[in-house]
Structure 1
Amino acid sequence: MQPSRRLYRRDSEENRRSALIAATQELVAEGGPEAATVRAIAERAGVTPGLIRHYFQSKDELNRAAYRSLMDGMTAKGSDAIEGVGAAPAERLAAFIAASLRPPVLDAGAVVLWAGYMHKVRSDPELMAVHEAAYLAYRDTLQKLIEQLPRETVPGQTRREAIACNALIDGLWVEGSLLSGTFAPNEVISIGLQSAGAILGVDLMAHTSRLPEFNRTPT
């Protein structure tokens, strides 16, 4: 069966860039970075190979943009979730964590794509820089939310807590995405909130009334 090919059409530069990034992500998820050749990307995106050079100086630059798009998109989903809840710090933190452990962030394809780039991170300093920036952006957002909790802390505590919570969320994201059938509905989110709450000494499960997973009226 031949892979899907996007039909060529005139489009804005932003949409064309997005199409190239999406095509690259699909190919890396299917066969690793080696599968994302210029010719394959162009065919998948429905453009000529030469047009890729108009938007990206090299295939490596396109790969970095694709990885950045994946990582930044997951952080953005958490930030968007904060906008839908109240002002209570624990509620905002719970919303951010929950958004990181539900679809579309919780997704087997996203984990496979992420894993496809991991072996290149150590050999590509610029890709490593993208990885580091994405990690710090997520961790710093998490730390700022933790710092808003009404409790006493000592210097350096919230940074260590953010690192620990980030590692917890990462692990649940991988297993919850790849082994979704082994978890009950909302179980991954509940484990994440309970475990992060244990690290922070805060009952995050008490602040889930506005989360879509926990505010449905039983039928």
Structure 2
Amino acid sequence: MFATESLIAEHGFDGLRLRDVAKKAGVSIGMIQHYFETRDELVYGTLSDASWRRAAEFVALADGLQDPTARVAALLRGSIANRARCQEWVETCASSTRHADMMMPMIERTYDAWRTALRDAINNGIETGAFEPKLPLEQVVDTLMVMIDGLMVAVALQLYEFDEPYVVRLIEETAGPLLSYDFQPTHGSPANPRG
């Protein structure tokens, strides 16, 4: 399935061909068809698997961290740190506009996991007094979720040479004022690559 997932990120849902998957995976087309009757079934299985994995990976970013500020920082930074994962997410979202019945449950599952982990970490920070949000909790979470999505697109497309230090700075400098907290950048303070 990893071969299929990387090819989906590279060619898109509709551009995926079984022969490319077979070649990349080092198996025959017949072997793939033994497990998946159609190309769409393979794509659906791959993206469904990926959505569960993405959700689990996001939640795991904060595993073992007790300090709510460290948990929020880990969730924010980790969400945009991997270009391949960002590309897969962008393709999953793009595919949902053409295949909503198949894709939307996966997207909703991933969003629910992200929102819950982020909301719980922020709420814990509010309860301990580490955060004093300027907006209602749900609005803060929504703002950060939308920003994560936008930054995932920028990272996936490598717009304006968006690199990890810069996108981390952007998300921390947005989250900080929303939560009345000064996130300390872990990668220094890189200059804006656009200017």
Q: Name the TM-score class by shorter chain.
A: 0.7 to 0.9
Q: Which residue of 2 aligns with 1:13?
A: none
> Aligned match of 1:47 in 17, 27, 31?
27
Q: Is the 8 A contact 1:92 1:145 kept in 2?
A: yes
- Counterpart-to-counterpart distance in 2, 1:111 and 1:57: 28
Gaps spanning 5+ residues in structure 1: where?
1-20, 215-219
Give the TM-score taking structure 1 as reference length. Answer: 0.68
* Counterpart AA for 1:189: V
Query: How do 1:43-122 residues align onto structure 2 when only pairs under 5 Å count?
Result: 43-83=23-63, 85=65, 87-102=66-81, 105=82, 107=83, 109-122=84-97
* Counterpart AA for 1:88: D
Query: How do 1:196-211 residues align onto structure 2 when only pairs under 5 Å count?
Result: 196-199=175-178, 201-206=179-184
Percent identical: 24
- Counterpart-to-counterpart distance in 1, 2:156 and 2:97: 24
- Counterpart-to-counterpart distance in 2, 1:30 and 1:77: 21
- Post-superposition CA distance 1:96-116 (Å, at most 9, x none): 1111132xx2x1x44444443
Q: SS of 1:188's equivalent?
A: helix
Structure with bigger gyration radius:
1
- Counterpart-to-counterpart distance in 1, 2:92 and 2:162: 27
Give the TM-score taking structure 2 as reference length. Answer: 0.75
Q: Which residue of 1 aligns with 2:123?
A: 147
Q: SS of 1:203's equivalent?
A: coil
* Counterpart AA for 1:46: G
Gaps spanning 5+ residues in structure 2: where?
189-195
* Range that drifts further, 57-66 or 111-120: 111-120
| C-alpha displacement of 1:63 | 1.1
Cα root mean square deviation, aligned:
3.1
- Counterpart-to-counterpart distance in 2, 1:23 and 1:183: 26
